[in-house]
């Protein structure tokens, strides 16, 4: 028997990359690889990268620089770069860092086994095509390994929205949905392997159109026995249709949490961002969602310091945040991305952008803490995911996605527990089984 080769994967960026890394690990499993969590022990290092902001992309090159000496120590080591930097920069990566053997873009992962064989024969391999076949059909999982209770499931990929700041339409290509039958098949398979909660993923997941709408897909998934919870992310405000809002009122397995990025509260900036919604239309939409599911916890994304953002524009963003009351929100300083339309526009003074980011984050943290505090004394349900750090403690997520520590419990992993919250900590809730 040949000894297995060891694969070290490091994943950057969004949840879709997490999902893709799992699929790539499975595909390379077929080539005799087993996972290792030590880069210095690996026969292949695979960086699954993100191009969304300059910092994210630059991190990859510094990481590659750190990994280069490992190649001198182990001549068998191959270094691979996947993900959105691979797609955006292609062969440039090998020029900048010659230690890299393999570069593969997100739509070509099913070709990874062939590419691996090629690099083992001493050649380099590059593939950043957008092939017509469905990569996931060719990335079938190997025998039924047990899975953690919460899993991601990509249902839609790519984006046709072309927000003026964003690289995703270029790195992931145009919007493609996986057929609903495939998604259901994968969900059933996940359930057999111990999964109880799926988060449906797509860059614009609510634009899903794989033979049915996202609402239709959610209703079909809700019928899968053993699947207890459904979530989806990320949604675009313009694709939040009535049927999806109704699903939040009617489908019990659909969790009351919604990530709905708005980016800015200023219509002037939203227009320049090419977002095609206004602050008012967004607020009205949230009103309708809350009418359907009053307890829903909202989450969002914001960019501050978008080109030509004034103090008044920024104040409008703060106003919007005050109005919505977010349970979670992610805010980023604008990062100019080569090739995107906004990259041509004059930048905001970085010191001003920094100050705005701090103010926005302070407001968001305040709201987050308030909502977290409001959970004390309430009864929640928690999907148990793993043991906690203290004896007798288990951790999992509430329906609202809060991290919850259940104290003094024998609750098993993969079960949904009814708990009462006794304390709100900074980043988690503490609870006891009812």
Q: Which does 51 bind (CB under 5 to 8 A by kind): ligand SF4, ligand F3S, ligand SAH, none?
A: ligand F3S
**Quick one: what does residue 53 bind among ligand SAH, ligand SF4, ligand F3S, none, with the CB cut-off 5 to 8 Å set by partner type?**
ligand SAH
Torsion of the alpha carbons at 11, 16, 22 and 25, rounded to the nearest 10? -60
384 is in an annotated binding site: no
Asked if residue 168 binds ligand SF4 (CB under 6 A), the reply is yes
14 is in an annotated binding site: yes
Segment contacting ligand SF4 (CB under 6 A): 21-29, 143-151, 165-173, 186-194?
165-173
Asked if residue 163 belongs to a known ligand binding site, the reply is yes
| Shortest spacing between CB 327 and ligand F3S, in angstroms | 21
SS (H, E, C) 61-109: HHHHHHHHHHHHHCCCCEEEEEEHHHHHHCCHHHHHCCCCCEEECHHHH
Look up tokens 């970085």; give the residue: 350
With binding defined as CB under 6 A, does residue 204 bind ligand SF4? Answer: yes
| Nearer to ligand SF4 among residue 163 and residue 247 (C-beta) | 163
Task: By CB under 6 A, name the one of 6, 8, 9, 17 that touches ligand F3S.
Answer: 17
What is the distance between the alpha carbons of residues 424 and 430, in angstroms, rounded to a whole number? Answer: 6
The answer to whether 326 and 363 are in contact (CB under 8 A) is no
Q: Is 215 annotated to bind ligand?
A: no
Buried b (16+ CB within 10 A) or exposed e, 180-193: bebbeebbbebbee
Q: Out of ligand F3S, ligand SF4, ligand SAH, none, which partner does residue 83 contact, by CB within 5 to 8 A per kind?
A: ligand F3S
Contact flags string 136-155 toward ligand F3S, x per CB under 6 A:
--------------------
Residue 431's nearest CA partner among 402, 412, 415 is: 402
* Chain residues in the site for ligand SAH (CB under 6 A): 52-53, 165-166, 168, 203-204, 234, 236, 261, 263, 301, 303, 332, 334-335, 337
Pairing state between β 297-304 and 328-333: parallel
Minimal distance, residue 203 CB to ligand SF4, in Å = 4
The residues that touch ligand F3S, with contacts defined as CB under 6 A, are 13-14, 16-17, 50-52, 83-84, 167-168, 171-172
The residues that touch ligand SF4, with contacts defined as CB under 6 A, are 159, 161-163, 166, 168-169, 203-204, 236
């Amino acid at each position: 028997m040949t000894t297995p080769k060891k694969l070290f994967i490091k994943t950057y960026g969004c949840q879709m990359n997490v999902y893709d890394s799992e699929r790539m690990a499975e595909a390379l499993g077929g080539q005799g690889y087993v996972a290792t969590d030590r880069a210095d022990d690996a026969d292949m290092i695979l960086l699954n990268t993100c191009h969304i902001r300059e910092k994210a992309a630059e991190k990859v090159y510094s990481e590659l620089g750190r990994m280069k000496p490992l190649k001198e120590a182990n001549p068998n080591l191959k270094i691979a770069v996947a993900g959105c930097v691979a797609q955006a920069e292609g062969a440039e990566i090998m020029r900048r860092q010659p230690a890299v053997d393999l570069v593969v873009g997100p739509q070509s992962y099913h070709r990874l086994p062939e590419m691996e064989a090629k690099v083992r024969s001493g050649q380099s391999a590059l593939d950043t095509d957008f092939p017509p076949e469905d990569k996931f059909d060719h990335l079938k999982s190997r025998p039924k390994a047990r899975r953690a209770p919460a899993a991601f499931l990509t249902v839609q990929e790519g984006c046709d929205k072309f927000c003026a700041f964003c690289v995703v339409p270029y790195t992931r290509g145009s919007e493609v949905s996986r057929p609903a039958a495939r998604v259901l098949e994968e969900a059933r398979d996940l359930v057999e392997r111990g999964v109880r909660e799926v988060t449906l993923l797509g860059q614009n997941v609510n634009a899903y159109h794989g033979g049915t709408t996202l609402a239709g897909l959610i209703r079909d998934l809700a019928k899968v026995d053993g699947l207890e919870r459904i979530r989806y992310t990320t949604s675009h405000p313009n694709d939040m249709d009535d049927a999806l809002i109704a699903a939040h009122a009617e489908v019990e397995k659909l969790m009351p949490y919604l990530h709905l990025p708005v980016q800015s509260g200023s219509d002037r900036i939203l227009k320049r961002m090419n977002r095609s919604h206004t602050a008012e239309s967004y607020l009205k939409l949230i009103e309708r969602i809350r009418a359907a599911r009053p307890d829903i916890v909202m989450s969002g994304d914001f960019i501050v310091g978008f080109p030509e953002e004034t103090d008044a524009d920024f104040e409008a963003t703060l106003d919007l945040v005050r109005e919505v009351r977010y349970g979670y929100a992610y805010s980023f300083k604008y990062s100019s991305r080569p090739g995107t339309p906004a990259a041509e526009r004059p930048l905001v003074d970085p010191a001003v952008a920094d100050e705005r980011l701090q103010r926005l984050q302070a407001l968001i943290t305040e709201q987050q803490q308030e909502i977290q505090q409001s959970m004390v004394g309430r009864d929640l349900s928690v999907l148990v995911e793993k043991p906690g750090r203290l004896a007798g403690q288990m951790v999992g997520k509430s329906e609202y996605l809060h991290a919850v520590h259940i104290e003094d419990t024998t609750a098993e992993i993969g079960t949904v527990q009814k708990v009462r919250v006794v304390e709100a900590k900074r980043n988690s809730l503490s609870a006891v089984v009812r």
